[in-house]
Structure 1
Amino acid sequence: MFRTAEADETADWARASSERLWTGKTSVQMEVQVRNTPFYVKGVAFGDIVRVRADHERREFVFEEFVSEAGHSAVRVIIKDDDARDMVDALLRSFECSWEIDATGYLWAIDVPPRVDYASMRTALLGVAEEGKIGIEEGALARTHRDRLGLPESDR
């Protein structure tokens, strides 16, 4: 597990300046693989490799830098209308995505695997958002998903 250290790496609307993420070891010392989808951190998705450093004062590892992507995207949905829960659940299941829901039940962190047609999924989510039922944030878009959307290169 590691903590992201920089406040500017978290979502603009987040009330947290950092987030703890689950990780797995890699063959490179001080590089770990992210094993969950972030609720707040920007630019990191499930499976990505990041470099960490030890923060001896906090007794934990903290984010140092992004190393490489795994092809997954991280998308967040904020439920604005309780009636949207079942609709979003069914939509995500149809695209074979996995997700976590925060303690409030309103913030969903969605893992979009590389095989998913994110352009179609995005269109469907935006349709629900246009109805005012959800809010959407793309926390990290994988290169494959960006390319299929025709988006320019970015930092992720």
Structure 2
Amino acid sequence: MTELTRKLQFSLEIDGDWPPISSEAVWCDLVGASFQLRNAPFFIKGLAVNDIFEAEPDPVNGHIFEFQVTEPSDHSLIWILNNTQVDADPILAQLRDIGCSTEGLQRFSLYAVDVPPHVPDQELNTLLDTAESTGLDLAFPVWRRS
């Protein structure tokens, strides 16, 4: 991390009981007057790794309430929710083997998967089909694959 890297706190809009938290902190680099996301978020819709975005932290609590992606990256974001308590580790390991990065929030059985552009489509699709067939729930908050 450099002195230009910092955590930004995003305020989350809760719908019913989801997400189960009211804000999420993510690592970002300062790029001029903008920010570049450095890790896959668990609850922030519309933002993927390496996206450059503009945001104005709230002067009172420092939270980000709105942001605008100005330079989208070629990365996609997948959320995996393990509602059935199956062993997700093999799927996550295979996703890492093909070039994705994964992060987990064990207390919510939730995983964020960063999908860089070089990940092979066929291998990714096969793993996602396997994940769904084992009972894992998938969401695609940022999908930039063709």
Q: TM-score band, normalised by the shorter chain? A: 0.7 to 0.9
Match of 2:4 in 1: none
Unpaired segments ≥5 residues, structure 1: 148-156
- 1:90-116: CA deviation from partner (whole Å, max 9, x where unpaired): 321231211111142721111111101
Residue 81 of structure 1: CA displacement? 4.3
Asked if 1:138 corresponds to 2:140, the answer is yes
CA shift, 1:17, in A, is: 3.9
1:111 and 2:114 aligned: yes
Partner of 2:87: 84
Superposed CA offset, 1:35-81 (max 9, x none) = 11010111111110111113111035554322121111111111244
Q: Which amino acid in 1 is paired with 2:101?
A: S
Whether the 8 Å CA contact 1:112–1:118 is kept in 2: the answer is no
Q: In percent, how many aligned pairs have the same letter? A: 26
Using structure 2 for the length normalisation, give the TM-score. 0.80
RMSD of Structure 2 on Structure 1 (CA): 2.5
One-letter amino acid of the structure 2 residue matched with residue 68 of structure 1: E
Asked if the contact 2:79–2:140 (Cα under 8 Å) also holds between the matched residues in 1, the reply is yes
Structure 2: give runs of 5+ residues left out of the alignment: 1-6
**CA-CA distance at 1:85 after TM superposition:** 2.3
| Alignment correspondent of 1:35 | 38
CA, structure 1 residues 25+40, in 2 after alignment: closer, same or farther (shift >3 Å)? same
Q: 1:2 aligns with which of 3, 8, 19?
A: 8
TM-score, length-normalised on structure 1?
A: 0.75
Q: Are positions 1:23 and 2:25 aligned together?
A: no
Contact 1:2–1:62 (Cα < 8 Å) also in 2: no
Q: Report deviation, 1:89.
A: 2.6
